[in-house]
Amino acid sequence: MLFLWGCQTHILSMLQHSKHTRSKEQRYEGASTLYSPHTFESIHSRVSETCCSYGPTPTNIQPPDILDKQIRLLPGVVVDSTTPGVHFGDVSSDVAANSDFGKGSTVNATFHSTCPWNDLLTNGNFALVERLNGNSWIPAYDDDDWSLRFKWPRPLSPKSFPALEWTIPEDAAPGVYRLRHLGASKPLIGSIEHFTGTARAFAVC
């Protein structure tokens, strides 16, 4: 239960329950729920009665933003660094030049990067697949697609080398593509700075 003293609060309640035929068996669903296969109907009935007893419910309520009140037990990032002469977003291991890939193949690239904890890029992306459209590059896939993966191995140094892996879907349109990485670097002194970098272009047949 959450208490926010000194301000008006609204209680938001969400309940999830699965209804399976396995509830009839004395396994997890049957042994660990009070009403077994009737749990969903019981909860739905009680919650409906409770909600209706309070009268009309506002529809524009949003949960309070308590991000700044959360306690973080993990240590923060001290500093990010790269090899001298190398910038964040530069490619460490690039796609081979003049490469052609078929559907189902996997394209890889590794970047000089930073710890993703610097900025979680909420509603953004750490990885993109861009497709050439005329003279412009447009996003075709991002890291919420199952085909594209952003892999960050936690290093024992301030240097990071995440890999972008794209397994080309069967419905991918033929054309010229490239991988793009986005991130944010933390200097020892100063504010966090965002960066981006791209790998070499390749063709999808």
pLDDT > 90: percent of the chain: 60
pLDDT at residue 30, as a whole number: 63
- For residue 20, name the pLDDT band (cuts at 50, 70, 90): low
Q: Per-residue pLDDT for 164 more than 90?
A: yes
- For residue 185, name the pLDDT band (cuts at 50, 70, 90): very high
Q: Name the H helices within 32-174.
A: 39-52
* Pairwise CA distance, residues 152 & 47, whole Å: 43
| Domains of the chain, first to last | 18-56 (no CATH), 91-204 (2.60.40.2300)
pLDDT at residue 22, as a whole number: 60
pLDDT at residue 171, as a whole number: 96
pLDDT at residue 1, as a whole number: 39
pLDDT at residue 118, as a whole number: 95
Span 29-69, pLDDT tens digits: 666 666 666 777 888 788 888 777 767 767 788 888 888 88
CA distances from 68 to 64, 65, 120, 175 (A): 11, 8, 15, 45
* Pairwise CA distance, residues 87 & 128, whole Å: 19
Q: Name the H helices within the chain.
A: 28-31, 39-52
Q: Lowest-pLDDT range, 31-45, 64-78, 85-99, 173-187?
A: 31-45
Q: Per-residue pLDDT for 139 more than 90?
A: yes
- For residue 75, name the pLDDT band (cuts at 50, 70, 90): confident
* Pairwise CA distance, residues 90 & 164, whole Å: 13
pLDDT at residue 4, as a whole number: 46
pLDDT at residue 169, as a whole number: 97
* Pairwise CA distance, residues 115 & 185, whole Å: 7
Arithmetic mean of pLDDT over the chain: 86
Which residues in 148-164 are b (16+ Cβ under 10 Å) and which e? bbbebeeeeebebebbb
Half-sphere CA count of 167, side-chain side, radius 13 A: 5
Q: Per-residue pLDDT for 16 more than 60?
A: no
Q: Is 153 helix (H, G, I), strand (E, B) or coil?
A: coil
pLDDT at residue 38, as a whole number: 74
Decide: 153 and 162 in contact? Cβ < 8 Å.
yes
Which residues in 107-125 are b (16+ Cβ under 10 Å) and which e? bbbbbbbbbbebbeeeeeb
Decide: 141 and 131 in contact? Cβ < 8 Å.
no
Neighbouring residues of 30: CB distance < 8 A, sequence distance ≥ 6: 22, 23, 24, 36, 37
pLDDT at residue 3, as a whole number: 44
